Chain A
């Protein structure tokens, strides 16, 4: 399960690990 944290005002940090490094992406909720 990927981790999700709200960083600032509708900007979320999603963390999941792939082969080379910790890979993250951010999603935006409107």
Chain B
């Protein structure tokens, strides 16, 4: 996966000139290969939540430059500004999200997931499918911390939500997913990755 993603990035910019690699939570499908991106970009730094540094990076033999960010801090890239949102338990203790101020874009990590192959921009209402997928995978322990963050994201009034699994949601599609998260159950119900565990 690393080679595919790196080659795609290379169509837009030189991966050797990356300034930051941002880690939203510590799972291999989100952060696998981060060390290779950083090794290939000598001036780059890993940016993650302050909690990720304390809980996960410390003691993992990570030797690269790392910045742990707290809620509200901003990385100014010039054309874009990345504001950090600490979002504990959505879905890990150290989870965070990003808000890009120029394009009013939220990078919500694994929230607003859409199962299956999706186009780059999703306009279908897949809110019910999203909640069903969460119950099947068992990635959220409880609805409350998630709904608290959904309220917070709604106050940002984003134009875009760019999830890490699925397509980007434009402004008109976002309320359908928000409604599902408010009204439908999606927390852990005894299944992990589709496997029923003993009650």
Which residues of chain A have a CB within 8 Å of any CB of chain B?
Answer: 1-18, 20-30
Smallest CB separation, B67 vs chain A (Å):
16
How many pairs of A and B residues are in contact by the CB < 8 Å rule?
A: 96
- A26, B4: Cβ atoms under 8 Å? no
For B166, list chain A residues within 8 Å (CB). 22, 24
Q: Which of B50-58, B113-121, B180-188 contacts A (4 or more CB under 8 A)?
A: B113-121
A21 to B160 Cα, complex, angstroms: 21
Interface footprint category on B = 35 or more
B9 within 8 Å of A (CB atoms) = yes
Interface residues of B in 23-67 (CB under 8 A from A): 29-30
Inter-chain contact B9/A14, CB cutoff 8 Å: yes
On whether the beta carbons of A11 and B4 are closer than 8 Å, the reply is no
Contact, CB under 8 Å: A28 / B9: no
A22-B166, A24-B164 given; 8 more Cβ-contact pairs under 8 Å: A1-B8, A8-B160, A11-B168, A18-B29, A21-B165, A22-B116, A23-B164, A30-B79
